[in-house]
Every structure is written in C-alpha cells, then in structure tokens.
Chains A and B, each alone.
Chain A
Amino acid sequence: MTPYWDYYAPSRPKEVKGGIKAKSKRGKFGENWWARRWIEVLESFNIGARLTRGKSYARRGQVLSIKIDTGLVRAKVQGSSSTPYSVTIKIRTLTGSEWDLLAKKLAQKPIFAAKLLAGEMPEELESVFMEAGLSLFPEKIDDLDTDCSCPDWSVPCKHIAAVYYLMAEEFDRYPFLLFKLRGVDMDDFMSVLGHAEPEEDFEEEPGEGAKLGAEARAGTESVFLSPKARTAPVLVLEEEEEAYTLSPEPLPLDLETFWGKVFERTEKEMETRSKAHIPSVPAALPKSLGKFPFWRGEEDLLDELEEIYRQASPVGMRVFLGEEAKAEGE
C-alpha cells in the first residue's frame, strides 16, 4: 500500500540554469567500482521511485551546489518550491587511531597511495580496510545521517538521492573525496603514510596521525579539503604582492649592472638558453590534471582548452622567433 502523500500530483521542479548536471545521461551512475559501491549504499535504503526521480534531478541539473567537508556534505537542491531545499548528509568519520592502523597497511603497497594521489582508487583498498577491521563505505544506516528541508517525510528523499548520485560522479573523478568524507584530507593522509615508515634518522612523532585526523574532523565549515585550501583563494590571489613586500630588493648601483651589459651570446650560451618547442600532443598539462571538479560549463573544459592551446602555440613560436611584429598591411 502506498502512503497517501505519494498521491500528490507529481509537481514539476523549477527549472534551473547552471546547476550541476550529471555526466551520466542514461542508465547507471558511476563508472568506477568505488562510485558504484557508493550508489549501492544508497540503493540499499529501498526508497523506490525516489531513486528514479533523484537520478533525473541529477541529470537535469537541479542540484545547485555541493560542499563536501570532513564527515559532512551540504547541498542546495532546486525542487518545485521557489527556494531551493537544503540537504545535509553526515557520515561517521574514522578516528585517528583507526587511520594510523590503516596507514601501516597502506604503506605495504605504495600503489594505493600513488593511485589515490593520481586520482584512482585501487579495488583492493576495500580489503585493506577490512583487514584493519574497518570499512571504507558507510555500511549501516547508522553510519549515515541525512536530512532535507523538503516536505517529503521519506529519508532519503529524491533530493538527497540526486546529491548522492552526483557525489558518485565526483568520486569517479576524485576518489580522495571519499577519504575526505571519512575524516582525512590529502595532506593528513600523506603525513600518515610518512609516519608509518619511519626514517632512519628522523624521530618519529607517534600519534601525529591521530592528531591530524582529529583536527581534520573538528574542521569547521570548509569549502573543501584542508585548512590551507579553505583560505586558499584569498591567500593565493594576494600571494605575489605579499611576497615582495617581505623581501625588497633594492636596485644595485654598480653602473654596469644598472644599465645592463652588452650581451654578445656565445654559441654555447645559445645552446643552453631556453628553447622553444611545440609539443605534438596539445594541452598535455591540463589533461594530466584530469577533469575539473564539479564542472558546470556547457562544453567540456579540456576539449575547449585543447583547441585554445593548439592555436596559441604557433603564436608563441612566432614571438620566440621575433616574427610576431605587426603583420604588414595590418
């Protein structure tokens, strides 16, 4: 018997521009095993048609924003009401000692750390968790605490489901988010790994991993990741100015240095000077970074960059060769 509130005429959600649109256009969500496992957790809750609705919300871009902090996900989802609903998903984070235990196991196979750093999650990772008596994904309903401001009484509702699906796609791209969610960010993770393998003549500082883990969990509102990243925008954007006020470099007064020397370059110097080369594969640098997180642009960023990089190289080469003076007749 379906509860009566499901008989409400299915309301159309308000149309959204520039929301986060799922990459998956049909069928399943999640390309990698870890993303699938995440979805499995959701689907084990047995919420029926809400799953399908959630999927279509995710695909239509009804989710406006997602913020992932340690143990906490907060999102805005545009439903049928005029103001978006607020969704929160809380997940139990692992304790410091649990992380320490894990780290010891992980150090045995550097591939785990290396792959994670490179944006991939090895499948055997789950078994490492299991060996340590832990689990990577939330297992029981108790591990999760979800909430939505919508009138639907079911938890999870379709709004939560939509966020859930989109997170799966993000895990695809950046599996470290899972760790983040479980209480450890990249920096913490690396230092945890570092301390698991003591250096010959460096003092080990026991329990720092735990400390870090705890700190991370205690992390308040954060856009993403580490405390450093939280202030990153402001810091980075002002970096340059700040740096030089710290180390002024007065003009040297030596007359030759002041006005510069006549530089007659020898062949040998020419050899070692910067060379210019147009790489055969365009945009290798941004491509090596992978997809941009939560990309909401119309076109794929990397495709767009490839085109731009390809066009810019010949201009750079002409400048290098000194040919980019105003073309005749211009």
Chain B
Amino acid sequence: MIILHAAWLEGQLFVWGESPLVDESKLPSVRGAVPVIPKAKPFPYDTGPEELLRALESLGFPVEVKRLEKVRAWLPGLGRNPLPSSPIIAEKPVSKAQPSLMPWNVIACSLDMSETVDLLCRVMGKKVLAQGLIPGNDFLWWADALKFAGAMAAGQDYLPDVRLERGEYRACWAPVFSGKYAGELTKHSKTMPSASRALQIEDVSLPPETPAVFVLKEFLSKTLDYMVRSSISRGPGVGKPEAKKRGRKKKPSFDSIHEAWVSALRSSDSLIYGEEHEILQLASWIREWQRPITVLATSPLRLCFRLEEPEKLGLEEGLEEGIEEGIEEGIEEGIDKIELGEIPGKNESPEGGNIEVPKSLWNVRYLLQPYDDPSLLIPAKDAWKLKKSSPLKKYDVKNIRQFLLTSLGQAAGISPGIALSLEKPKPEGYELDTGEAYDFLTAKATALNQAGFGVLLPAWWTRRGTKAHLQTRAKVKSKPTQIGSGLTLEKVINFDWEIALGDKKLTVEELEALAELKTPLVKVRGEWVEVNDAEIRAAIEFWKKNPAGEVSAFDIVKMALGSPSDTGKTGGLDFEGVESSGWIEELLMQLKERAGFEELEPPETFSGTLRPYQVRGYSWLAFLRRWGLGACLADDMGLGKTVQTLALVQQDLENGPNKKARKPVLLVCPTSVINNWKKEAARFTPEMSVMVHHGVTRKKEKEFREEAKKHSMVISSYGLLHRDIDFLKGVHWAGVVLDEAQNIKNPETKQALAARTLNAGYRIALSGTPVENNVGDLWSIMEFLNPGFIGKQAEFKRNFLIPIQAERDQEAARRLKELTGPFILRRLKTDKSIISDLPEKMEMKTYCTLTKEQASLYTAVVKDIEENMEEAEGIQRRGMILSALSRLKQVCNHPAQFLKDNSSIPDRSGKLARLTEMLDVIIENGEKTLIFTQFAEMGRLLKEQLQDTFGCEVLFLYGGTSRKQRDRMIERFQAGEEFLPIFVLSLKAGGTGLNLTAANHVFHFDRWWNPAVENQATDRAFRIGQEKNVEVHKFICAGTLEERIDEIIERKMEVAENVVGTGEEWLTELSNEELKDLFALREEAVEE
C-alpha cells in the first residue's frame, strides 16, 4: 500500500511514496533528548526505490532507477518520531505534545513537464489510482492546480515572454494573472497543503519557506508553457526551421533577436540564441509592449460597463445583481405603437400583444469594480473627483485615473460611443439609441468582455432563453386518438411551422410589418424582445419555403425534446420546440413528466408484492417500451430495480407483443451478480425460464441460438457480451437489459461497442449511480438506449460536455436534462413519495459466486471431510464437523483466509468482488456501512483490502481492540467529520451494545446460524437515532453450504427464533448423508 505524495522543488514535481512499516521495530525509539539541530535520517515510512518504481510503472511511467534521488522532506513529527500522513500508514501516537518540523530523507522521482501533465491528468477526480495506490491530498491538490493551468491555456490568458533561468535566457509562455485569475491565484495557493512544498534538496539544512503563491505561480507557468509548446509540436507549424545552422558552430544564429525569440518560443529547449545585451533590450521592449496589460493586471479594480434601459415604461424588469444606485431619470419621449392586431390576418393571441418601440435613450455607465469585492460598483465620477467617503480610497488612488484612462482608451477602440464620451472632461458614461443599444448588446458587450472589461447587461437579455427573440416552432395537430390503438413512433405526422416573438405568434404580414420598423429591439407586453433584421428576413424566407412539413412521430419527439440532430432544419432560426395537440401532445407530456401513463397491474404470475413506487417504475418501463424507446432505471440501491425489471419482462410474456413471438430477453450484468439475478427470477417470476450463459461449458453459435429460443431470459456477463458478440448479435432479442450499466460508460470499450450492436426490441439500462450527473458517462448509455437521439459523440462533447463541465453553462445543462430526462428515472430512498412506501429496515440477500479457485478448494475440503466422516465418532466426529464448517465458510469468504498464507487478495473471491461493487455505489451516494464477519482474520483482511480499494481509512473492531480504542472509533465514525465510510466489526466484539447509527447499510459478510445474533448486530445501526432507512445485505455463496444455512435459518425462523440456540452444535447431530447434502457444492456456484 502506497500513498503517493508530490511536492514542487527546483522547478519540477517530485513524487515520493509513503507505506506502512513492514517491520515495526524500524521505528526510532522515543527515548532520549531531541537534538537541537535535527539530523536527517531515512523516513521510516518511505516507500523506497523498488516499490516507488513499481508504482510508477503501474501508472504507465516506466522510470529508470538512476532517475530516483534522495531528497529531504520536512515533515511533522513528535519528539523523535515521525507522524504518518494517514492512519492507513500507521496509528498516530497519542500525545499531547506539539508536533515539530523534522527533516527526513525520502527517495523521490522528479518528473519532466510532459510526465507531470500526464500523471496529474490521470489523477484528476480519483481517490485511488490502482489497488493499493492512493494519491495523497497534496498530490490531488496538484491535479487541481493543473486544471487551473489548463483553464488559462484554453482561455488564452498568457503572453510570450523572456525569463532568466539558471543563468540562461529562455523564451517562455507566461500566464497573465489579471482579472479573475488574480483572485484565483491567491485563493488557490491558500489551499495548498504544506506537503506540496515540503521537499528540499539534500544539502540544504533549512526547511523550505518559499511562499505557496510563488510555488503555485511557478508550477502554473511551467505547465502552461509546456502545454503551449506541446500544441506547437503537434500542430501544422511543425517543420518550421528552428534555426538556420551556420558555419561550424553548433550554436544556431538568427537574422535578428526577434527571430531568435520566436524560434525559442517554438522550440523544445526554449533557449534564446543571442547576445546578452540584445536579449536584455528585447526584454525591455517586451515589457514596453505588455505595458497596458501590466497596468490593467496590477490594478485592484476593473472597469465595467453597464447598459441601462430607457426609463421604464411598462413592466419593471430588474437588472443584474450588484446594481446599487438608481437609474437616472430619463425623459419619456413617446412610443411608437403598432397594433399588430390591426394588420389583416388573424391575431390568435387573446391579449392582443402590443409591440412597442420606446424612443427614449439608453445609457452605458462606467463603473469601477474591485476584484476583492465584486459586488461593489463605484461610479467613474468618484475616480475623477475623489470624495472622502469614497470606497476608492482603499485603493492606490494615484494610479486610478491612469488606469481609468488606459482602460477607456482601450475600450474606445472597441466602441465609438466610448471614444466620443472622452471628448468631455470626466466622462461617466454615454447615451445610446435603441439601435446602438442593440449593437452594444449583440456585439460590443462581447468584444469588451473579451478585452477584459466587465459588462453588466439587463437581466432580460442575459437570461434570454426561449422567449426574447424570433423563434420557430412546429405546430402538430394530431387526432386525440386513444393511445394504445396501434400508434407507433413511425407514424408520419403533418405539422406547420410557426414563427413567434415571445409568446406571440406572428403572421407573415406581421413579420413584414416588423421588418419595416427597422428597430432591433421592441417591447412585447412590456418585455424587451430582440427582432434582428436578418432574422426577420430569414424567418420570412424560411416560412415561404417551408410552410409545412411531414416527419415521423419519432422525429417530432426528437424535435420537441431538443435533440441536436434536428436543429439544423429551421434555417438558422432558433428552434423553440413543438406545439402540439392530440395524442402527440399527450405522449410528449407523459415523456417529459414521466407520469400520466397507464399504471399496469403486476403480472399475473408475479410472486410477491410490488410496492407502489415499483408499480410506477415498472409501468414507466413498459410505457417507454410501448413506444420503442430505451429507458434507464437509476433508482437508488435497495429500491428494487431487479423486481421492477423482472415484472416488466414477465408482463411482456403475459400480455405484451412477446406473448406470441416468444423471443428471449438478454440480461447482461457483472459476473458477481449472475446468481443473484437467477435467484431473484426464481423467487419473483417462477414461471419465467431462465438460462445462464456463462462458464466454460456454455453453448455457442447455433447451439446457443436454439437453446436461447427455448428460454424467456438469458443471463450473461459483460465479459462474454464482448467475447460472444458474434453470435449474440445474431439473435433477435425481445429486449436487452444492462445491469450496472455504468459498465458501458466509456463508449470505446469493447463491451460498450458490443452492447450497441445488439439487435433488440427494447433496451433498458439499470444503474444505482446518479448517471444523470455524470455528463461524461451519459453519451454511451444514451446511445445504447436510443441510438442517434442525442447526436454524435463529438457533437455531444461540443454541445454539452465542454459547456457543462468546463464552462458551467446552466443553459446547456438544462437542455441536456430536457433531452435525456424523459429516459432516466432515478428515485432516491429519501424521496418523500418513496420513503412512505419503504419499510424502515429492508433485508436483502445477495447471492455471490465462487471463483474457480474457491470452487476447487471447496471441493477439496468437502472430499476430505467425506473421507474422514465415515470413520470418526463421538467427540472426534463433532470436532471434525465443526472444523469442516469453519473451513468451508473460510473458503467462501476468501481463499487467503482459508490458506492463511498472506497471498494476494484481489480477484480471488466472489463475495469480495460483490462487496466492492456495492460499496462503490454506497460510497458514491455518501452513505456509511457496517460490515460484520464472524472471523477476526477476515475482518483484518477486509480492512486492508478495502483501504487499498477505496483509498480511505477503514475502521476495524474485534476482540483485541481495547475499550479506549473502541470508544474512539465509535466516536469518530458517528461524528462524521472525517471520511470514514466503512466500519468492519467482528460479530462477537461488535454485535452487541454499540450505537452506530451513522451507518444505514449493514453487511453480513458471512452467516451465523442464529438469526437473533445477526439481528442484534443489525440493530447497531437500526435503533433509536437512525434517521434513514436501513438496508441489510446478507451475503450468500449460491450453491454452497451458506445457501443451505440460509434455508435452515428461514425454516427455523418460522418455528421460533431461538430454537437453534446460539451455536453450531446441533449440526453435529445430523447424519452423514444429511451432512453430505449440506456441504455439497452445486454446479451454479462457480463462476466461469
């Protein structure tokens, strides 16, 4: 186990590792006085060269040993003892003493810029890099810093420059920290962990003291420079001569220092070849050239332009926030009004919809906005004539006028109105007519903003979503046919195009009248609306050409939900959507609301009760299937996605199209849940014939096809989906269900590609994670469900991914939600409508599969028992049986627990695999878990393994835990201040008395014969103080002894809970035949 740390030293990122001690005795002794001048010793928790190299290699960085070096790490310690960074490494010694900074030697590897960017990109957003390879928070902090550099490179906030580095002059691309970045830089550097700058070269005996902000600045400069250079080396400009080599000298020469500079800006070594005095002169010219930026960048304020509407005539419309002064009184100069209703032609709008053209003037006001308090907007007047009370006094006043003039001078180049205002002393703003105001809104504002000025626009403009300008919509008139009477989405639908301004529908005549007005902004019902001349012409043109259209109902649905593939159809006009009536309207409403569709009865042969919300979910799946649309059911774990799906499949068999056709449904899931599906199907839909396509003996090709036809459902795994796709895709599936659909979130993976080629009547994806929030993962799942609906991947990236993830564009997020929302149903346990349907405690059995190794160990143990059973008698027989029981349970838990050989842990236990998958979802949902096991050694194994997997501390309580430690653990777990999502407890030590209500998931990793004991353990979480519903997951290896134990428990429960007693003694009374049956391994138990 390694926690990777990273620190900046000498212009490079150094990576080192921290690991638990193999041998505790390596810790230095606590005794003895602390020397005054600390002498550096090797850091006891240092990962060391071999492991560090292995870790780097596993991340894709094969590094040679000679690149490793010894550096000094200044870390906090107590007395002479080092302190680990996390309890995963070692317990922190309990001491009241203050920690002090101590020098240690660690082995670190320095990365070049390319490796730095690469590695940090890989780390972004991860808690674990690989099993047992955990990035420390200082490491993760650098990944965040790199994001910052990426944003600056993308936003082009940098300039070419010259710098002196180790006596050499180099060309560089230097970030410009002006405007918002100035604040970001300080803010970001304040969050820097000390560990990110705790390294020092070996022969320096003082701890590092470089301020965080300089360290960060240097990192940003270096990475940004690298990004720009790497884009050059990839771009089309490659092959440009770096330098003409002349004469015998290796040193290239250039015609001018400028050429040398440009070449160095492009080259990989960045060295400028020139005479020192020339370079210095160049530098001074660069300084001169960049001067306006420097003035603006060093200013604590920025200039803002605020567009103010003419004196209000109709509705009050608030301006953007931050406006603190009243709008100057304007003079009402009268309004042109056209009664559009008077123009020949129908006016359908009942309100009449007057379009007004106010004639009074607009204003642009100059304001100064401090970066440290952006809500403060100081009128320029204050700067021209400084008052005592002015907030400007806080800032460097002498330069404010120069700053204001420089800014205005720059802005004047963009807007002639601003230039004109500068003809008079102390300008504070200028006036505009409506045409100019429109120009300001549409063109000048963006240009000014891009030049670094603040721009404040009226709110109605900034949030103009669907209303503030000309739009087209498709008007569909469909008959109010009863849905269900043979309508499909293939039906061809007629529709008319309509053009609307705001809420008001326009006729061609009205459009032409609008064009006559020649004013780009009008007021419709008191609200400003944009009527761009070009748009009007485009609208008239478009309309004359396309008064009506004819498309499939599917296309109408796509248009109505804003599918990007259909926006090109409206001649450059904004497409607002579909106005419809009849069944299309009804359908659209049902889709958007995910409600209003027919609620189905549970299938006749469904055994068990569906909860009310499950009926809704299952009916919703059926509703989408009815229209041939794919659906993603993303209910919280524990809400019963499995039963809803089974109900749907069964319903189809009984009443749906599949009643006659009898095609099978393909269900793809992770290997670890194959058995669970099978068991659940047997329990809830006993009539359904299920075939498991798995294991080496599975049928293939034609044989498979024939076998599949005989069943209602075929269950297989993601691994086989890809491996057997050749014949899987040859089957006409009634439907395809992907369980844990996040398995196909990456569209390039083989299983995702395979899933998309399947031939299916309907498609369903199941997921317990909030798929709708992971924009990046959404495309692949949606493309599987409804191919072509959300556009091509590149389009998706451009339209949604970048706007939402990089630009935080709310509008794009809204559009995506509108587009995908109808196909995703996610209900949370905490939803009011759900919670009332749920019991406070839900017990669920999770059927797990044995790995091949587990199966062969199991068989060997059983064989061994059977051989000895015949001969043994009395006490000997009892002892042997009890030990056999224990050994079999160990095998079911984990081979390593059985073998006790410290062998490797991952990928050897079906239970552990399933546990990890479930914990993944639980942790993602921010919930906490208790895991009970009857074996202390299994508990320890789980603790270590889960720490390695999830990269966080896992608490572990067992018989050897002192009372003090136990109380501290419980306190920490309950307090919720630390990230402690998992608590492993041994059934004996933790099963009674404790209060652990912070958890709402309880796992019983292995089973105990007495349900009362299990229930008592469950009650650690399910007791007074618990605010959530508690889910109890009981792990059972299908086809093994464990399943038999479970059956016995169930049976005994019916009699009386305490008949069985607390022990396993009664088992020894069973006959040999009974025992053989109990132990026997059934075929279903084994994974492939």
Hey, which bits of chain A sit against chain B, CB under 8 A? Answer: 17-19, 107-111, 113-118, 120, 186, 190-191, 193-194, 197, 199-202, 223-225, 229-230, 232-234, 236-238, 240, 243-244, 247-253, 255, 257-264, 270-271, 274-286, 288-290, 292-299, 301, 304-305, 307-309, 311-326
Contact of B136 among A107, A236, A259, A315 (CB under 8 A): A259
**A96 CB, min distance to chain B CBs, angstroms:** 19
| Known A253-B99, A304-B262; contact A286-B159, beta-carbon cutoff 8 A | yes
Listed A/B pairs (25) with beta-carbon separation below 8 Å: A118-B412, A120-B409, A202-B397, A229-B284, A244-B209, A253-B76, A253-B99, A261-B193, A275-B151, A278-B155, A279-B155, A297-B258, A298-B259, A301-B262, A308-B232, A311-B237, A316-B224, A319-B223, A319-B227, A320-B151, A322-B124, A323-B121, A324-B117, A325-B122, A326-B60
Q: What residues on A are CB-neighbors of B284 within 8 Å?
A: 223-224, 229-230, 232-233
Given A249-B212, A260-B136, A260-B140, decide whether A281 and B153 contact each other with a Cβ distance below 8 A.
no
Q: Is the CB of B117 within 8 A of A293?
A: no
Q: In chain B between 517 and 572, which residues have their CB closer than 8 angstroms to a CB of chain A?
A: none
Q: Which of B60, B279, B422 has the most chain A CB within a 10 Å cutoff?
A: B422
Alpha-carbon gap, A111 to B421, bound state (A): 8
Distance between A65 CB and nearest chain B CB, rounded to angstroms: 8
Expressed in whole angstroms, the Cα–Cα distance for A140 and B224 within the complex equals 53
B138 touches A260 (CB 8 A): yes
Q: Is the CB of B164 within 8 A of A257?
A: no
What chain B residues lie within 8 Å of A281 (beta carbons)?
A: 450
Given contacts A115-B419, A274-B148, 20 further A-B contacts (CB under 8 A): A18-B258, A115-B422, A116-B409, A118-B413, A193-B402, A201-B388, A243-B214, A251-B197, A259-B136, A259-B138, A277-B806, A284-B156, A289-B289, A290-B289, A297-B256, A305-B160, A308-B231, A312-B153, A316-B154, A320-B147
User: Nearest residue in A to B163 (C-beta to C-beta)?
Assistant: A237
Q: Which of the segments B326-334, B379-387, B699-707, B838-846 contacts the partner chain?
A: B379-387
**What's the Cα separation between A258 and B163 when bound, in Å?**
32
What A residues does B423 contact at CB under 8 A?
109, 111
**With contact pairs A260-B193, A285-B158, A296-B257 given, residues A255 and B76 touching in the complex (Cβ less than 8 Å):** yes
User: Which single member of B293, B425, B808 contacts A270 (CB below 8 Å)?
Assistant: B808
Please measure, in the bound complex, the distance between the C-alpha atom of A288 and the C-alpha atom of B164, giving whole angstroms: 26
**Contact (Cβ within 8 A) A224 B285:** yes
Separation in Å of the A158 CB from the closest CB of chain B? 22
Q: How far is the CB of A62 from chain B (nearest CB, A)?
A: 14
Residue pair B154, A249 in contact (C-beta under 8 Å): no
B23: interface (CB < 8 Å) = no
- A114: chain B residues within 8 A (beta carbon): 405-406, 408-409, 412, 422
Instruction: Please indicate the chain A residues that have their CB under 8 angstroms from the CB of B231 in the complex.
Output: 308, 311-312, 314-315
B727 close to chain A: CB less than 8 A: no
Residue pair B385, A200 in contact (C-beta under 8 Å): yes
Query: Are A199 and B153 CB-contacts (below 8 A) given A111-B422, A253-B76, A295-B258?
Result: no
A233: B residues at CB distance < 8 A: 162, 279-281, 283-284, 287
Residues in A with CB closer than 8 Å to B412 are 111, 114-115, 118
Give the residue name and chain of the B residue nearest to A315 (CB).
B231
Interface bits B794-821 vs A (CB < 8 Å: 1, else 0):
0000000110011110000000000000
Residues of B within 8 A of A284 (CB): 156, 450-451
Docked CA distance A281–B449 (Å): 12
Please provide the chain B residues from 121 to 138 with a CB less than 8 Å away from any CB of chain A in the complex.
Answer: 121-122, 124-125, 136-138
B408, closest chain A residue (CB): A114
Interface pair B198/A311, CB less than 8 Å apart: no
- Chain A residues with CB under 8 Å of B124's CB are 322
Given contacts A255-B83, A317-B154, A319-B121, contact A260 B137 (CB under 8 A): yes
Contact with A along B441-475 (1 / 0, CB 8 A): 00000000011100000000000000000000000
B579 in contact (CB, < 8 A)? no
Give Cα A184 to B848, complex, Å.
85
The residues of A that contact B640 with a CB separation of less than 8 Å are none
Shortest beta-carbon distance, B216 to chain A, in Å? 12
Asked whether any CB of chain A lies closer than 8 Å to the CB of B52, the reply is no
Task: Kindly state the separation between the CA atoms of A307 and B991 in the bound complex, as whole angstroms.
Answer: 68
A115-B409, A319-B147 known; A274 vs B184 contact (CB < 8 Å): yes
Q: Is B85 located at the chain interface by the 8 A CB criterion?
A: yes
Is the CB of B247 closer than 8 A to any CB of chain A? no
CA gap between A325 and B120 in the complex, in Å: 8
Contact partner, B176, options A107, A285, A313, Cβ 8 Å: A285
Q: Is B825 an interface residue (CB 8 A)?
A: no
Query: Which interface class (under 10, 10 to 19, 20 to 34, 35 or more) fits B?
Result: 35 or more
List of A residues within 8 angstroms of B628 by Cβ:
none
- Which residues of the other chain, A, contact B698 by a CB distance below 8 angstroms? none
Task: Check if B262 sits within 8 Å of A297, measured CB to CB.
Answer: yes
B176:A258 contact, CB within 8 angstroms: no
Residues of A within 8 A of B196 (CB): 260
Residues on B with C-beta less than 8 A from A319 are 117, 121, 146-147, 149-150, 153-154, 223, 227
Q: Shortest distance in angstroms between A56's beta carbon and chain B's nearest beta carbon?
A: 19
Contact A326 B808 (CB under 8 A): no
Give chain B nearest CB distance to A102 CB in angstroms. 15
> Contact between B406 and A244 (Cβ–Cβ < 8 Å)?
no
What's the nearest-Cβ distance from chain A to residue B294, in Å? Answer: 10
**How far, in Å, is B536 (CB) from chain A's closest CB?**
25
Q: Which residues of A contact B184 (CB under 8 A)?
A: 274
> Known contacts being A110-B427, A281-B450, is A275 close to B807, with CB within 8 Å?
yes
What residue of chain B has the Cβ atom nearest to residue A108's Cβ? B425
Query: Once the chains are docked, how many angstroms separate the CA of A308 from the CA of B230?
Result: 10
The reply to whether the CB of B627 lies closer than 8 angstroms to some CB of chain A is: no
B96 at the A/B interface (Cβ < 8 Å)?
Answer: no
Closest chain A CB from B454 CB (angstroms): 16
Complex alpha-carbon distance, A128 and B533, angstroms = 43
Contact of B194 among A200, A251, A290, A296 (CB under 8 A): A251
Q: Which residues of B sit under 8 angstroms from A258, Cβ to Cβ?
A: 75-76, 193-195, 198
Contact B154 A194 (CB under 8 A): no
Residues of B within 8 A of A279 (CB): 155-156, 450
Query: B883 contacts the other chain (Cβ, under 8 Å)?
Result: no
- Distance (whole angstroms) from the CB of B437 to the closest CB of chain A: 22
B1078 in the interface, Cβ–Cβ < 8 Å? no
- Scan residues 290-327 of chain B and give those whose CB is less than 8 A from a CB of chain A: 290-293
Are A312 and B156 in touch, CB under 8 angstroms? yes
Say yes or no: B156 contacts A18, CB within 8 Å: no
Q: Say yes or no: A288 contacts B410, CB within 8 Å.
A: yes
Given the complex, which residues of A lie within 8 Å of B191, measured CB to CB? 263
User: Which residue among B60, B76, B85 has the maximum number of chain A CB atoms within 10 Å of its CB?
Assistant: B76
Q: Which residue in B74, B156, B164 is a CB contact (below 8 Å) of A238? A: B164
In the assembled complex, which residues on chain A have CB atoms less than 8 Å from the CB atom of B422? 109-111, 114-115
Which residue among B101, B147, B153, B181 has the maximum number of chain A CB atoms within 10 Å of its CB?
B153
For residue B805, which residues in chain A have a CB less than 8 angstroms away from its CB?
321
B273–chain A nearest beta-carbon distance, Å:
12
Chain A residue nearest in CB terms to B952: A262
Q: Which 7 A-B pairs have the closest CB atoms?
A: A316-B153, A260-B193, A260-B137, A118-B409, A114-B409, A319-B150, A18-B256
Contacts of B159 in A (CB 8 A): 285-286, 289
Chain A residues with CB below 8 A from B969, complex form: none
Contact with A along B63-83 (1 / 0, CB 8 A): 000000000001110000001
Contact B386 A202 (CB under 8 A): yes
**Is the beta-carbon distance between A259 and B195 smaller than 8 angstroms?**
yes
Q: Is the CB of B397 within 8 A of A236?
A: no
Tell me, rounded to whole Å, the shortest Cβ–Cβ distance linking B656 to chain A. 40
Question: What residue in chain B is nearest A271 (Cβ atoms)?
Answer: B808
Considering the chains assembled together, what is the distance between the CA atoms of A323 and B198 in angstroms?
A: 29
Q: Complex Cα distance A252/B451, Å? A: 39
* Partner among A238, A298, A307, A316 whose Cβ is within 8 Å of the Cβ of B227: A316
Question: Cα distance A261–B192 when bound, in Å?
Answer: 10
**A271→B813 CA distance, assembly (Å):** 13
Is B426 close to A, CB under 8 A? Answer: yes
Per the bound structure, the CA–CA distance linking A282 and B291 in Å amounts to 20
**A286→B808 CA distance, assembly (Å):** 26
